[in-house]
Amino acid sequence: MNICVFSSSSNAIAQVYVEEAKLLGKLIGEQGHTLVNGGANVGLMEIVTLAAANAGARTIGVIPERFVKRSLASGNAHEVITTGDMQERKAKMREISDAFIALPGGFGTLEEILEVLTLRQLDYHKKPVVFVNTNSFFNYLLQQFEHSFDEKFSKEIYRSLYFVAKDAVEALEYIAGYEPPELDSKWFIVPEL
């Protein structure tokens, strides 16, 4: 299975996040999966790439050309796919992946995982979407989700579109047993024509 991992490019983060990224990469390799990620040689992206490769995983990095020119492409990925821009990068990652995991990260990580979650909501794919909530990192985002459910901006059934894992082990267990939920119409009330 090709597992896409969205994660931080920061090298300034606490060790607790590094250790969880190492564990996730190690488990991806030990379980015979392929890692797909953003292909950069910085932050959790490089950590998970190294751990996955060291544990026997094939690794695929998908990175925009401008970052390759800035020497940010990982030299540890088995395959590097260069794209014209960020939109093409995300589309390629979605296309070649069978599941999506978000480790903690900044704006880019949030944008990537929320896009695949939105596309799942709109039934463009039926792949699992998982947040690994290391150090309670995603708690405030999850509170925002709850507020959206409470205020009827999101339907209750959309709770089934993502899974919040306490760690990498639980994330991969969820993906292994994943069965896509059936959805109804996206809209609460569909206008009559």
Element (H, E) at 66: helix 65-69
Would 182 be classed as within a structural domain?
Answer: no
Would 170 be classed as within a structural domain?
Answer: yes
Would 183 be classed as within a structural domain?
Answer: no
User: What is the extent of the structural domain holding 120?
Assistant: 2-176
Would 58 be classed as within a structural domain?
Answer: yes
List C-alpha distances in Å: 67 to 16, 63, 72, 74.
27, 7, 5, 10
Would 187 be classed as within a structural domain?
Answer: no
Sorted by sequence, the CB contacts under 8 Å of residue 59 that are 6+ apart come out as: 34, 35, 37, 49, 52, 53, 76, 77, 78, 79
- Count the residues in the chain: 193
Q: What string of pLDDT tens digits covers the 193 residues of the chain?
A: 999 999 999 999 999 999 999 999 999 999 999 999 999 999 999 999 999 999 999 999 999 999 999 999 999 999 999 999 999 999 999 999 999 999 999 999 999 999 999 999 999 999 999 999 999 999 999 999 999 999 999 999 999 999 999 999 999 999 999 999 988 766 666 666 6
Residue 184: predicted pLDDT: 74
Would 85 be classed as within a structural domain?
Answer: yes
Would 73 be classed as within a structural domain?
Answer: yes
Sorted by sequence, the CB contacts under 8 Å of residue 99 that are 6+ apart come out as: 1, 2, 3, 4, 127, 128, 129, 130, 175, 178
Element (H, E) at 117: helix 107-121
Element (H, E) at 35: strand 34-37
Would 47 be classed as within a structural domain?
Answer: yes
Where residue 162 sits, what CATH number does that domain have?
3.40.50.450
Q: Tokens for 146, please give them.
A: 């709850």
Provide the number of structural domains found in the chain.
Answer: 1
Residue 191: predicted pLDDT: 62
